Amino acid sequence: MGCGKTTVGLALAELLRWEFVDLDEYIVEELLRRCDSCTDGKQFNPRPLAADSAEFRKLHDQRLPFYRRADVTIDANGKTRAAIAQEIGVRLQLASAP
């Protein structure tokens, strides 16, 4: 949520010459399509956590143990999207080091 997954995903797809599919966009569009008739004219917020920092923190804290079990982690601090994409490609053995 707002941490650059799409931006880096686009850079990685470009690096690897793969098609990029934004699953967040696809899921939101599908939810909106399915819920269009069930909202009774009320506004539908497909990203409720973006508006509620306490709920976001609670969910993050619940997921953190799973995040920490990841086989590959990338420190993105101070790096360009291209550098992050390159590091992901190298770490996954999909691209060669620069």
Kindly report, residue by residue over 32-76, the tens digit of the pLDDT.
777 766 656 566 566 666 677 888 888 889 989 999 999 999 999
- The answer to whether residue 52 sits within a structural domain is yes
DSSP per-residue string spanning 3-63: SSHHHHHHHHHHHHT-----HHHHHHHHHHHHHTTTSTTPPP-S-GGGG-HHHHHHHHHHH
- The answer to whether residue 34 sits within a structural domain is yes
- The answer to whether residue 49 sits within a structural domain is yes
CB 22 within 8 A of CB 5: no
The residue segments making up the domain with residue 21 are 5-91
Cβ-Cβ contacts under 8 Å for 17 (sequence gap 6 or more): none
- The answer to whether residue 26 sits within a structural domain is yes
- The answer to whether residue 96 sits within a structural domain is no
pLDDT value at residue 87:
96
Tell me the C-alpha distance between 50 and 69, whole Å.
25
Total structural domains within the chain: 1
Tell me the two tokens of residue 6.
């799409």
pLDDT value at residue 50:
64
- The answer to whether residue 10 sits within a structural domain is yes
